[in-house]
Amino acid sequence: MPQIVHTEGESNTSEARSTWLKKSIGPKSSPLLKRDADVFLHQSLSSPCVSTIANAEGIWIEDLDGRRYMDFHGNSVHHIGYGHPRLVQAIKDQLDDLPFAPRRFTNDPAVELAEKLVAITPGDLGKVLFTTGGSDANEVALKIARAATGRFKTLSFWDAFHGAGFGAASIGGEATFRSHIAGPLLPGTEHVAPFHPTRCPYGHTTLEASAEACANMIDYVLEREGDICAVVAEAMRAVPIVPPPGFWNRVRDICDRHGALLILDEIPTGLGKTGQMFSFQHDEIVPDIVTIGKSLGGGILPIAACIARKNLDVCGDFAIGHYTHEKNPVTARAALTTLQIIEDEGLVERASKLGEHAMSRLMDALQNVPIIGDIRGRGLMFGIEIVEDRVTKTPGNGRAERIYYACLEAGLSYKISQGCVLTLSPPLTISQVELDRAIDIVVAAIEDEI
């Protein structure tokens, strides 16, 4: 068995992990895992891998040995499920029609996709640039903000994730994407502590008070610095933590008063995941720039986008993206078809309805369980915080990991956020029967841990 590095929230050598690997990695998967470990650069959250995958369809993934899992992680790409037949056919047809477009030559799928994104995005968000991934989309947003304001500093949250590039990692706040880098990251990337419902870094005991303190700190830093070009944040923290009512309205006002742009990262939460096309629509505000990605390619092809207000189209004399696949007709067709599927199948409304059902079931089953610190979520992204004690809210990292492997053994895959939050994010195409089955698995694993 190859050595396997830890994934988020997991120990590299835990007993739960070792037991599961010995019991669950079959004879067909083991050789491929060894080959993977031998040839890929090793990094946290990626390679070496925990298992193999041979098939992905709908909400299901299957390894080489035939073990199947409901995938409630999917790197947030599988809003429409894996291998949606309409998307597969659209990609095949586009390959036959036009497989590539060099830069400076436009094509119908790319323009149609840009027009579609402008049509579904609120307010004056009317200018688009495509990239191959969300990290690059955030890099583009930073360049626009600098050019438009003449400033270079940013303000963002500790613990946030905005990508793995130098700029994206600089504004991000997750240690795993920052601590290994020798020397300085981007200068001027200031951070504040985020709001939190159970472990508030500002010392408050409610989410509302924590968020108010966070907004006050944003106001304070923008006032003191005086030259922040943009506040960059996740519209809903994907750990997940839902912002309380009024938080983003307050931050929007703070940005306007201090002349800073508001850039919201909707890469994991956008395109219907939270029960609105964009998560910020719950808060009835419009950012200056929004970035999307991950699910935009329908779980098949990589594509992301930066969508900015029309009056931020100020970079025409220099390059801010200049990507080889900037207007690739195949990835554009995949994204356009994905958006059409989301609309035609009513998946935004479905996420809202099923999300309410899931939260109700989880609250009914778990709200009085002594190792549950919090149950939170919006739409089809929800989290269960595991603690050692409900009074002190001490994170139950070891408990969360044991629960995770028990769920994996029962056929449910998800991720652990912040060491102790079971983070469940199923495709929007999931049936209520499948959703209930997954909830039953989680509840049973938690009850076995008590």
Q: Output the pLDDT for position 17.
A: 66
Residue 1 has pLDDT above 50, yes or no: no
Please tell me whether the peptide bond between 395 and the residue prior to it is cis, using omega within 30 degrees of 0. Answer: no
The model's pLDDT over 417-438, given as tens digits with 9 standing for 90+, comes to: 999 999 999 999 999 999 999 9
* Nearest alpha carbon to residue 294 among 264, 322, 269, 276: 269
pLDDT of residue 226: 95
Say whether 282 sits in a helix, a strand or coil: helix
Residue-level pLDDT at 50: 80
CATH topology of domain 15-80+347-449: Aspartate Aminotransferase, domain 1 (3.90.1150)
pLDDT tens-digit map of 202-240: 999 999 999 999 999 999 999 999 999 999 999 998 899
* Higher pLDDT pick, 150 / 21: 150
Assess contact for 394 and 53: CB atoms under 8 A.
no
Q: What mean pLDDT value characterizes the chain?
A: 93
Q: Is residue 13 predicted with pLDDT exceeding 60?
A: no
Q: What is the pLDDT of residues 337-357, one digit of tens each?
A: 999 999 999 999 999 999 999
pLDDT of 10 higher than 70 = no
User: Where along the chain do the CATH 3.90.1150.10 domains lie?
Assistant: 15-80+347-449
pLDDT above 70: residue 2 = no
Q: In CATH, what number does 85-344 get? A: 3.40.640.10
Range list for CATH 3.40.640.10 in the chain? 85-344
Mean pLDDT of 119-133: 97
For residue 306, what are its two tokens? Answer: 């930066």
Long-range contacts of 52-55 (CB under 8 A, 24+ apart): 52/28
Cis peptide before 99 (omega within 30 of 0): no
Region of poorest pLDDT, from 93-97, 181-185, 239-243:
181-185
Cα gap 90→266, rounded to integer Å: 25
Q: Is the pLDDT of residue 49 over 90?
A: no
